Amino acid sequence: MSDLGPVAWPPEPIRTERLVLRASQARDRAPFIDLLASPEVHTYLGGARPRADLEREVPEVPEDWPGSFVVELDGAMIGQVLLRRPERHRPVAVGKVDLGYLLLPRAWGAGYATEACAAALGWLAAVLPGEPVVLTTQSANTGSMGLAAKLGFTEVERFQAWGAEQWLGLRPAVPPPARSGSD
């Protein structure tokens, strides 16, 4: 599912002004089920999964793999940010890290997705300098396309998949920070 290469996992929690990004824990199981069962969250993702199926299938520690960050606000999970290299992807995106995110509807509209994704991308740039990143969303999801633009993604292509037009954006490799002084 995720191949970020030689990345130590889990990292220390990433703290932003309002959020904490961290590895999944057992206490996140119920919020993950809420997230995966939410019709609102999955409007542009092919539909929500049935809650009964999730209750049976979601492990005690959900989404516990390198590149899967829980987004926490005031001690409670509000969503997830994903960094992964999918096994199958569009030719232009093969081998690149793919950014994904899901937030519970109660967390929408406050800038948390932008803040969380920017923090995850900052972490990625520190542990895998020079890594380009892709993001795919339905072109009907104007909110996600706006977030992609804020994060520096530019459109590479549009294509049909899963019964809808998809938008694929690329965020070029961020160069490592300049070193100061003499080496």
Given this model, what pLDDT does residue 86 score?
81
Q: Which of 2-16, 70-84, 99-113 has the lowest mean pLDDT?
A: 2-16
CA nearest to 100, candidates 77, 87, 124, 117: 117
Pairing of strands 164-171, 133-138: antiparallel
pTM: 0.90
- Strands of 164-171's sheet in order across: 14-15, 19-22, 68-73, 76-84, 97-103, 133-138, 164-171, 154-161
Q: Which of 13-22, 32-41, 66-75, 157-166 has the lowest mean pLDDT?
A: 157-166
Domain 14-128 has CATH 3.40.630.30: yes
What is the tens place of the pLDDT at every residue in 10-42? Answer: 899 999 999 999 999 999 999 999 999 999 999
- Read off the DSSP letter of residue 129: T
pLDDT score of 176 more than 60: no
Given this model, what pLDDT does residue 162 score?
80
pLDDT score of 1 more than 50: no
Q: Which of 20-34, 84-98, 107-121 has the lowest mean pLDDT?
A: 84-98
Q: Which of 8-12, 143-147, 168-172 has the lowest mean pLDDT?
A: 8-12
Question: Measured on CA atoms in the order 20, 26, 31, 37, is the torsion positive or negative?
Answer: positive
Reported as half-sphere exposure (CB side, CA atoms, 13 A), residue 175 has a value of 3
**What's the average model confidence in pLDDT over 50-55?**
95
pLDDT score of 64 more than 70: yes
First to last CA, the chain: 39
pLDDT score of 9 more than 90: no
Given this model, what pLDDT does residue 169 score?
95
Q: Any idea where the domains of the chain sit in the sequence? A: 14-128
**What's the average model confidence in pLDDT over 56-73?**
95
